[in-house]
Structure 1
């Protein structure tokens, strides 16, 4: 691990973040990037090719070591040459790397996240209106997790813990976790890593102490895999591994790039010839609300509260709790069969039961919490209990958190309490 102070570059007050290996969370992002590119300038141009031993870890390259990324499991993060400074994965990606963040918080134990997308020269990302963007083979997504000393001061001292890679190889997506065991490099952590007694101070000034888990490489599929709905069988039920966070609705926001330029992320990628298919009118592109630790829940109007709560449940829960609404292949998440299906584009008014309203828990349950969601009664709603408890038998998400997100649970508590009061039928 390395302890460092990161100097941010004009981060928007409305910014917040996304994706990989079951995680996400709150925090600022000071990733490097340029001004909006001139028309016709490709963001991934000149990304480089190996000039040393082809495909070998640590080969001397003029840029990203694409051969190693596509063929090797390297022992050190620096072997892939993804960053200009191999000791700092939070800024200055190698040429071709594009920073991004997300509008709604994907929580991972209060860590700040620094995210970059790398796409090989000549390839492009395809726009998708509701699902994750369609990344070409060769894409690499990096996400670095750093725990701030104080979550209210995201540009202060922080502990850089891990960098996760999602690599789109010819046979599908491949996940690799790297743990920062020193200031100089991160080492492969296939078996994961558990750090004990980490501390931070939250926005309320409270000190929080908890353990932190770097996931096993094999754990990533538990959150990143979608499967055909239960009507499928045999070969029809093959899992598909996908990123979670980089959906258009969470990228449809302004980002403050390293030179201080503020620009819409989707438009930036489209004008840089990295993203194709983006509608000309950005007003037609779905836009999730901004919600992070700095957004006071009490300040949200009822419609804003509903929107923020559904977006929060979507990005934190719906990768598992979903039954696909749009794709003809009709895929669902691993927990779609629970009956709780929390996609942002699902209409609450049409199916409140899909959001847990007056639905009896099917995954064990707990005395005192008869329904997943009881409108007007968050205190006895099992969904909220699962978000606040650290008991492994009940907590949700099952991975990616070892402490409760106080600001996120305050949002969901307020949302449940303001739902129109309904009388749920008693449990038989």
Structure 2
């Protein structure tokens, strides 16, 4: 099968990300007295007490039912109504087109062959679209889009044909006239619709594969036809063309632009339609790693690809097209959609509640939604049904009935669910699940089997107890599919319905005392028929039971007895994730289940007073339906200093990072850190695409140099840019040391131009470190420390020494104090972790909820003080109000006339969302290692003039410029409010909105 996230070359095709919650933590300690045995369990006991079935949410308001029961097709991909008839035309992607009468309940209906597109060209590959001319009954014109094999410049094409005036109708293959072509291969788009204006609208993809994203760098390039919605007049012809470019197309007069373009910046616009109510064009655009988009297309609209994937930055450094980027009308993250299929507006009276609603779905998850839009905003959005259907397309008949096309070959439609509003009896407490015979003692029920893993991911110092349970005597099968792009790897387990994986997370309430552990939550991963669902049961204070959490996150602040803290107490915040958050990292291609896998399970396990090989035991009791491989690898214990350094580091990266940072995993940085991937193919030793954080010569991993390695920097810090991005609020000091030592052990690349100069800089800083950290004189040490705190790269070298070198307490405290006072957050964020949590400022941080801020009353007078005088707020350094402030960014003197409080907050939180080109960020890296950023004032053969965020102009001579680049982001920093309180932001918004 061709390469996926999109191939078949153009079909929305990713296997579903399965929900997973089993990101396992520390193994349960094994009693010293446990004896070794061949098997830890003699026989398997059936699990008969399970009550985990169904789901806690109400049933869907709709169901799907099959129509045209006698018809079945081979990989259908499009269906349209034929004007002037009661017939529908259906395309099979491999080349045949059929017609049949629109009789949905007829059990004896047969299809008639309309055309065999495979005969049109010897290089035929796939057919994707069909459209009938608005005057079809008079001119008999039909338009078909199809694709040829290979990546040829004219491999995607739209051709016009004549249709016979017979019953059933037939296509005349000899009448073909090629209308328009574009690059074939990869994402083709290739959907067509005639608009209310009589023009033919055609979708084109970016012509590339899923990886790397936008490989042709065409998303913002309007000099070609790719990644666009085209609009042409097929009833007229310009010279040398089979069509005319309408004079009112938006880019007709734009230099070097293709006039056919109506909108651009789309990745793979798979299906589109027009709203019969207002004539607007709606497009479903298949996303890349994180988002799926629905766009209500505007004339000349730029939808961001590949600068953005929806609202997610992808290639910030690329040049933007000639118009501002517009946001999606509707977007879905990859927790609920993975390959969006645009639909139609339902017009049937059979489903009155959906009349006039846009109905669309997702190929991978089978979910369907309805949306209403009015006055520029979505006024209603609802999930209609969650189906097992591969929703490859939708069809619309003359009466406005929306049909669902299943890629498996059948046709369906929605019907009302007679059980809507009825909830299932899902256990609301842990004690009601049937997993434990004694919840308070955490004693599992018969048939619930404990297990442990080799390489534990970091989870803020918590430990975990894990269990697997299969209903009755059902077994685990192994997936036979070996195509890793499909999401499965040989040897992974296929669970039966209602199988579960369980993890109870605990934290010591007295640092260093394992007996003081307190259970925080029990995470349950439930395999419901054909998909994983994640639930969280939060333990009560009495530790007697746990309550099912709603689908929302919340934070809990815990008080820990800690002798190392000044008052004997410290605080730690534990984040109880929502069901949606839990699966952000567990994509299908990441194999969903990260702990219950062969290399992780290949170890000894404690079974009461007996220790035995875990895999052998599970195999002995019949948990597996097929024999296990003769040889199974075992990943190392990350904390075992005697184990191989490279293996430990690669295991650490796999369990903490590889669920996102792999092909298809969701991480926007294009590297792969799976354990078995050779380092040379990981793409780790490349320049980072998501920011260098002020590090000279930065690489994701710079072999031999941790202080040029953005991966090490991000693991070592708190705040914006910290990794792992989800599921952790505490820096793993031991893990950071491991990655430092691993990077340092890697042989430098021979073609690394920065290595020698970086080595000299490291040696110079080592001298400063020796002077500072070996000093007993605070004043003398302070001077050296200040020098080390001047950049993020040198600060990294300082914290590495703080973590491992013998240093006088007063000097270490001095370094931490100075580090937390640095104005530059790129440096300061490295030192915040050394402060007790309760001493850190209660700032908004990285998760900001706009509605909560907008609900607070603001004080304009306090806001004015914050803007014009407060040292902690930097707005005036870039913006003027009247005669006060600086002219780096836009003048805000009358900003309250343009933007209300909500829009002001949106612009502050997302400064690059709608950005004036003159305020994009330009970067200059100098030959001596400086990284300068600012607004470009001028650039010539003499040099570059930048205006920084501080309002100061800097001139860099041409001979000093090593590298120049622009980033499609505002010079205004993101997360500018991170260091402020919610009340302060409310005051600031009140002041700005008063500026009329």
Question: TM-score, length-normalised on structure 1?
Answer: 0.74
Q: How does 1:239-250 map to 2 (within 5 A)?
A: 242-250=592-600
Q: Distance in 2 between matches of 1:104 and 1:202?
A: 29
Deviation at 1:374, TM superposition (A): 1.0
Give the aligned length.
350
Secondary structure class of the residue paired with 1:276: coil
1:26 matched residue in structure 2? 26
Matched, 1:415 2:746: no
Alignment correspondent of 2:693: 366
Structure 2, unmatched stretches of 5+, are: 1-18, 57-423, 480-488, 755-924, 926-962, 964-996
> Within 5 A, what are the aligned runs for 1:44-63?
45-48=45-48, 63=49
The answer for the alignment partner of 1:82 in structure 2 is 435
The Cα of 1:189 is off from its aligned counterpart by 1.8
How much has 1:171 moved relative to structure 2? 3.7
Native 8 Å contact 2:52 2:426 kept in 1: no
Residue 732 of structure 2 corresponds to residue 405 of structure 1: yes
2:509 aligned with 1:124:
no
Tell me if the contact between 2:22 and 2:501 (Cα under 8 Å) persists in the aligned partners. no
* 3-state SS of 1:178 partner: strand
Is the 2:22–2:502 Cα contact (8 Å) retained in structure 1?
Answer: no
Work out which of the residue numbers 666, 673, 691 in structure 2 matches 1:342: 673
Equivalent residues in 2 for 1:45-194, closer than 5 Å: 45-48=45-48, 63-67=49-53, 72-89=425-442, 92-127=443-478, 132-149=492-509, 152-154=512-514, 156-182=515-541, 183-190=543-550, 191-194=552-555
Confirm or deny: 8 A CA contact 1:29 1:112 kept in the other structure: no
Contact 2:20 2:532 in 1 (8 A): no
1:317 equivalent to 2:657? Answer: yes
Aligned residue for 1:161, secondary structure, equals: strand
Contact 1:23 1:107 in 2 (8 A): no
For 1:102 and 1:202, how far apart are their aligned partners in 2? 31
Q: 2:638 aligns to what? A: 291
* Cα separation, 2, equivalents of 1:22 and 1:362: 30
Tell me, in whole angstroms, the C-alpha distance in 2 between the residues paired with 1:209 and 1:319: 29
| Residue of structure 1 in register with 2:578 after alignment | 216
Tell me whether 1:195 sits opposite 2:526 in the alignment: no
Q: Quote how far apart the aligned CAs of 1:209 are.
A: 4.1
Partner of 1:387: 715
Rg comparison, structure with higher value:
2
1:333 and 2:673 correspond? no
Whether contact under 8 Å (2:477, 2:625) holds in the other structure is yes
Q: CA deviation at 1:46?
A: 3.1
Residues 1:307 and 2:647 aligned together: yes
Give the distance between the partners of 1:202 and 1:345, measured in 2 at CA.
Answer: 42
CA deviations over 1:144-172 (Å, ceiling 9, x no partner): 11002466553x21121111110000141
Which piece of structure 1 moves more, 118-127 or 395-404? 118-127
Q: Distance in 2 between matches of 1:276 and 1:198?
A: 46
Identify which of structures 1 and 2 has the higher relative contact order when contacts are C-alpha pairs closer than 8 Å and 6+ apart: 1
**Structure 1: tracts of 5 or more residues without a match:** 1-18, 49-62, 228-239, 324-331
Cα 1:130–1:263 change in 2 (3 A) is: farther
Give the CA RMSD over aligned residues. 3.1
Tell me, yes or no, if the aligned pair for 1:226 and 1:334 is still in contact at 8 Å.
no
What is the deviation of 1:316? 1.1
CA distance in structure 2 between the partners assigned to 1:166 and 1:334 by the alignment: 21
- Could you report, residue by residue, the CA deviation over 1:226-276 in whole angstroms, capped at 9, with x for unpaired residues? 35xxxxxxxxxxxx9822211100100011111x21111111111000123
